Amino acid sequence: MTQPLFVAEVGSNHLQDLSRCFKLIDTAKAIGCGAVKFQLFTLETLFAPVVNRPGQTDQAGISYADRKKRELPLEFIPHLAQYCHEAGLQFACTPFYLEAVEELQPYVDFYKISSFDLLRLDLLRACAETGGPVVLSTGAAILVEVDIAVTTLRQAGCRDLTVLQCVSMYPLPPEQCNLSTIALMRERYGCPAGLSDHSTNLGAILRAVFHWGASMVECHLDLEGEGSEMPYGHCWLPDKLALAIQAVRDGLAADGDGTKEPMPIELGEREWRADPSDGMRPLLSKRRELE
C-alpha cells in the first residue's frame, strides 16, 4: 500500500488575504500534505437571488455579507498555483461556476467537484473536457446520482478520476462517516477512492486508509482557529493534522515485506536467547565468548 495523497482544503479560511494563503500552503507542506485546494466562487453564481437577499441566510445560517467575505479573489489564482508548485505541492481548486473551469485550467493539477455540485452535469462535463484529472466528492448523494456523475465525466473525456466518500455535515460524528463506501465506489467505478473528511477524527482517518484503502484524504485546514470555517467544527489545526499524517506514515512503514526473519535492529539479540540445552541465557556459543 502506498502513502495516500493528503489534500489540505483551505476553503474559506483564507480571509481574502494572499499572505495568509501562502502561510496555509507553507503549513500544508510542513505537516506532510501533497496538495492544497482552494474554492473559486461568487455568491451571485452560487446562490439564487432569494438566498442572497438582505436578511436571508444560507443552510448554515450565514448572512450574505459574511458569505461575501469568503470569496477567493480570482487574481489570487496564478500566485497560489505558482507558490504551491514552487513548494513541490499540487494545486487544486473547486470551480463553482462554469467560467471558473476555463479560468482555472492553466493552473490546476486537478479539479475538485463539490458534493453540492454533483448534480451539475454541465459543470462536470466542462471539467472533464479539459482532459485534466477530476476528483468527485459525493456527500448527500445516493448511489444512482454518483453513477450518473461518473458516467457523465467519463463520457465527456475524463480519464483520471478519483471519487471521495463524504458526508455533508459539519462537524461529522465518526459513527456517521460511512467509510465502507470507499471500497464500494472503488470497485463499482474501477478508479481510486478516498475520503473527504468532516470529522477531524484520527480514528476515522486511520480506518479510511488502513482498512478501506483510501488513496486520497482531504482535510479542511486552518492556521490558528481564526479562519471563517473554524466555528463549524470540521477544520483541522496543523498540529493535529500533522499527527494524523505521521500516524499514517508510521503505519505504512511498519508493514515490512512479509518475510519472517530477524530484522536488522534485532540481530544482536539472537545470541542472548535461552539455550535449549539448559533453558538459560545466552546461547552456549555466546557464553564461551564471555569466558
Question: What's the pTM?
Answer: 0.94
Write down the pLDDT at residue 95.
Answer: 98
Q: For 57, which DSSP code?
A: B
- Tens digit of each residue's pLDDT (9 = 90 or more) over 178-230: 999 999 999 999 999 999 999 999 999 999 999 999 999 999 999 999 999 99
Distance from C-alpha of 48 to C-alpha of 240, rounded to nearest angstrom: 37
Write down the pLDDT at residue 264.
Answer: 95
Instruction: State mean pLDDT over 61-74.
Output: 90
Write down the pLDDT at residue 54.
Answer: 82
Q: Which of 140, 137, 153, 240 is nearest to 193 (CA)?
A: 137
Q: Which of 162, 219, 152, 208 is nearest to 185 (CA)?
A: 162
The residue type at 57: T
| pLDDT above 70: percentage of residues in the chain | 100
Instruction: Compare 173 and 55 and report the one with higher pLDDT.
Output: 173
Q: Which of 182, 186, 187 is nearest to 167 (CA)?
A: 182
Instruction: State mean pLDDT over 251-262.
Output: 94
- Tens digit of each residue's pLDDT (9 = 90 or more) over 91-102: 999 999 999 999
Helix (H, G, I), strand (E, B) or coil at 216: strand
Helix (H, G, I), strand (E, B) or coil at 94: strand
pLDDT greater than 90 at residue 77: yes
Which cell goes with 91?
A: 494545486
Residue 235: count of CB within 10 angstroms of its CB: 26
Task: List the beta strands (DSSP E) in the chain.
Answer: 5-11, 35-40, 90-95, 110-113, 134-137, 161-165, 193-197, 216-221, 235-236
Write down the pLDDT at residue 186.
Answer: 98
> Average per-residue pLDDT in the chain?
96
Residues near 26 by beta carbon (within 8 Å), at least 6 away in sequence:
87
Write down the pLDDT at residue 6.
Answer: 98
- Tens digit of each residue's pLDDT (9 = 90 or more) over 14-47: 999 999 999 999 999 999 999 999 999 999 999 9
Helix (H, G, I), strand (E, B) or coil at 170: coil
Residue 134 binned pLDDT confidence (cut-offs 50, 70, 90): very high
Write down the pLDDT at residue 58.
Answer: 87
Write down the pLDDT at residue 276.
Answer: 98
Distance from C-alpha of 214 to C-alpha of 71, rounded to nearest angstrom: 30
Distance from C-alpha of 118 to C-alpha of 137, rounded to nearest angstrom: 7
Distance from C-alpha of 271 to C-alpha of 15, rounded to nearest angstrom: 62
Instruction: State mean pLDDT over 35-64.
Output: 90
Distance from C-alpha of 240 to C-alpha of 4, rounded to nearest angstrom: 17
Write down the pLDDT at residue 219.
Answer: 98
Residue 170 binned pLDDT confidence (cut-offs 50, 70, 90): very high
pLDDT greater than 90 at residue 234: yes
* Length in residues, the chain: 291
Write down the pLDDT at residue 1.
Answer: 80
Domains of the chain by start residue, with CATH:
5-255 (3.20.20.70), 261-291 (no CATH)
